[in-house]
Structure 1
C-alpha cells in the first residue's frame, strides 16, 4: 500500500512505535547529555585497593565508593589532600562497621578538570521557604531543590558513564561548593543565605525528582583540614545519602545547621547511628538504602529495593521507618 494513502492517525501510531523501539524502552530511561569536556581520569598506581578493601566480606551489605581528585587545584588550596581524603574514607569504614555495612573502594582517580568546576553553586536559590503547615521533609517533597546548570555540567563532565552510576557513591573533591537557602531575617521577611560547605551530599530527600538518576550518588568534599572534619565528614555525608535524613537526632528535628552533641547526623563530635523509633530509625533506614548490595551464590550483586517515589524522606521503601512530626512556625503566628 502507498504510504501516502495511509490515514494520518495510522502514520502517527507507526512513528510513535518506531520511536519507542529505537529508545529501547517506554521513554522513562534517563538520557545522559553529551559533554565535550569529559575529564580524562587516571587511576593512582601507588594505591593498593586490595589492602584498603581487605576486610570487605562477600556476604555483608556493601556500598561501592569511587573517589575523584582533581590534579589542578589552585596552589593555595590545602583543605583537602589525597591523604586526608583517604584518611576520612577509612574513618568512615570504621564508623559504619558496627552497623554491619561495609564500604568498598572501587577506585581513586586523578585528572585535570575545567577550572570553572573547582568552585560551584550547588543548587538554584529556593523560592518558597518552609512554614508551619508542613514539616521540613514534606516541604522538600513539594519544593525540591534543583542543581544549577553549572553544577550539572560539572558533574556530567566528572562522573564517568557506567551502568551502575545510580548505585555508586562518588566522592568528588572540589575547592568550594556553595549551598544557598532561605532563612527568616526579621518579622515576616526571609533572606537568602549561602553556606560554604565542607561536604555536600545532594540527598534525594532534598532534590527528589530534580536529581538526575546517574548523578544521585554524587557527594562533594571541600574541607578536611580540621581534625573533626577529617574523621567525620565523609561518614556524615554518607549518612545523608544512605540514611536519607537531614541534620537530626532523636528528639532533634532536622534543620540546615544543627550544632549539638549527639549522633553522626548532627554537627558535632558524635558518631552514633541509633536504631528504633527513638533513634529516628537511622540504622534501619541506612540498611534499606538502594545503594546497598550483597553477593548471591554465583557472585552477582543483589541490590536493595530501589526508590519508588524519587527517594524523598517518606518514600514507600521505608514503610513505617519514618517520623511524622509537625512543622514549626518560623515567625510570629500573629504576623
Structure 2
C-alpha cells in the first residue's frame, strides 16, 4: 500500500504537465447551463495496466472510470489527481476481503464548463419523511430528482458507451451541494444544504428519475484528509453497488450517521457484513448490476439488472432487504 502511494506521489509532476496540456488544448466554454461534450484526453502518466495487474479473471469485478477537470479554480486545493488515485487504490483494498475487485478503465482530463465545477445535486425535496414509512419506502414514493444543472453537467462529462449503465464514473468537481429536509422543532421541517466530499447518486434514492446512462456517476470533491482519501471512494462506491444508505447492523439509515464499524457509516470502519444481522450488505454487493465476471471467452458476464428501477426493495434483491419500521420525527401529540 505505502509503495503504491509513493509511486503515485512520484507521478505528480508528470500529471501536472498532462493537466496543463489538456487545459490548453480545450478552451472551457463560458457560462450557460448547457454545454457541449467535454473533449477528454487520457492521462498518459498513469499506467492503467500496472494499476490493474492484480486482477483475477472470473472474479466479481466492478469497472471504474475517472474524469478529472483540467481547469479547477486556482484556489481549489481539496483534491489532486494523485490523491484520487490513492483513494481508488484504498477502495481496491477495502473491497478485496469482500471478494470483489475494481477494474480501472481509464483516467481522463479536460476542460469542463466552469458552471459545472460547482453544482446543486438534487432539487429540494417537497415531501418530508414521517413516521408512517421507513426511509427507503419514503424514497421509493418520493425519489430525489437531479437539478437541471447537475443533469447538464453529467451529460457533458459522461461519454456515450454501451456499458454506461454498468460503469462507475468518478467525477471530480469542486463543490456538490445536497439539500434535504430535517425536523427542526415541533411539527416544522427545515431545509439543510450539506457540502459533500463525495456523493453517490444511488438508485435507492433516484430509482426512476435518474437517466439510465448517468446512473453510475459518483462525484468526489474533497480528499484532503487521510480519513477522507482512505475511505471516501470506497464508501461512495458502497452506496452505489450495495444500494444502501448510511446504515450498519442495528443502525437504521439516515442522512448522517457518525459511528464506527461499517464502511457505510461516517467513521473509520471498513466492514462489509453479510447475513440478516449485517443487513445483507455483502450479498447485495455481489448481486449488484454493476458487477460482472470475465468469462473464458474474454466477455463480461453481467449480473442481472434491476427489475424495478433499483429502489432498495427492488425485486432483484428478493429477501435481502430489511423491513424496518418508520421512525417518529415529532411528538405524537402534535
Q: What TM-score, normalized to structure 2?
A: 0.89
Match of 2:99 in 1: 100
* In structure 2, distance between residues paired with 1:275 and 1:295: 24
SS in 2 for 1:210: coil
Distance in 2 (CA, whole Å) between partners of 1:296 and 1:45 is 29
The CA distance in 1 between the partners of 2:35 and 2:149, in whole Å, is 14
Mapped partners of 2:57, 2:210: distance in 1: 31
Gaps in structure 1 of 5+ consecutive residues: 1-34
1:209 alignment partner, SS class: coil
CA contact under 8 A between 2:35 and 2:113: conserved in structure 1? no
Give the whole-Å Cα distance in 1 for the aligned partners of 2:253 and 2:57.
Answer: 35
CA distance in 2, matches of 1:333, 1:148: 34
CA contact (8 A) 2:130 2:327 kept: yes
Question: Is residue 187 of structure 2 the alignment partner of residue 195 of structure 1?
Answer: no
Q: Is residue 2:50 matched to residue 1:51?
A: yes
Aligned residues: CA RMSD: 0.7
Point out the more displaced range, 90-99 or 290-299: 290-299
Give the alignment of 1:132-281 within 5 angstroms. 132-281=131-280
Give the C-alpha shift of residue 36 in structure 1.
Answer: 5.1
In structure 1, C-alpha distance between the alignment counterparts of 2:282 and 2:74, rounded to whole Å = 41
* Superposition deviation, residue 296 in structure 1: 1.9
* Residue aligning to 2:302: 303
Question: Which residue is 1:3 aligned to?
Answer: none
Aligned CA distance change for structure 1 residues 36 and 328 (closer, same or farther; 3 Å): closer
How far apart in 2 are the matches of 1:295 and 1:151? 33
Deviation track 1:218-238 (CA, whole Å, cap 9, x = no partner) reads 000000001100100000000
| Structure 2 equivalent of residue 109 of structure 1 | 108
Structure-2 residue corresponding to 1:11: none
**Length, aligned pairs only:** 301
Q: Which runs of 5+ in 2 are unaligned?
A: 1-33
Does the residue aligned with 2:207 lie in a helix, a strand or coil?
helix
Maintained 8 Å contact 2:35/2:153: no
Separation (CA, whole Å) in 2 of partners of 1:250 and 1:319: 19
4+ residue runs over 4 A deviation: none
Calculate the TM-score normalised by the size of structure 1.
0.89
The structure with the larger Rg is 1
CA deviation after TM superposition for structure 1 residue 309, in Å: 0.2
Instruction: Check whether the contact 2:169–2:216 (CA below 8 A) recurs between aligned residues.
Output: yes
Counterpart-to-counterpart distance in 2, 1:279 and 1:47: 37
Partner of 1:83: 82
Question: In 1, distance between residues paired with 2:54 and 2:226?
Answer: 25
Deviations 1:169-209 (A, max 9, x none): 00000000000000011110001000000000000000110
Matched residues in 1 for 2:35 and 2:312: separation?
35
Equivalent-residue separation in structure 2 for 1:105 and 1:37 (angstroms): 26
Residue 297 of structure 1: how far off its partner (Å): 2.5
Q: What's the offset of the Cα at 1:261? A: 1.0
**Separation of aligned partners in 1, 2:328 and 2:92:** 39
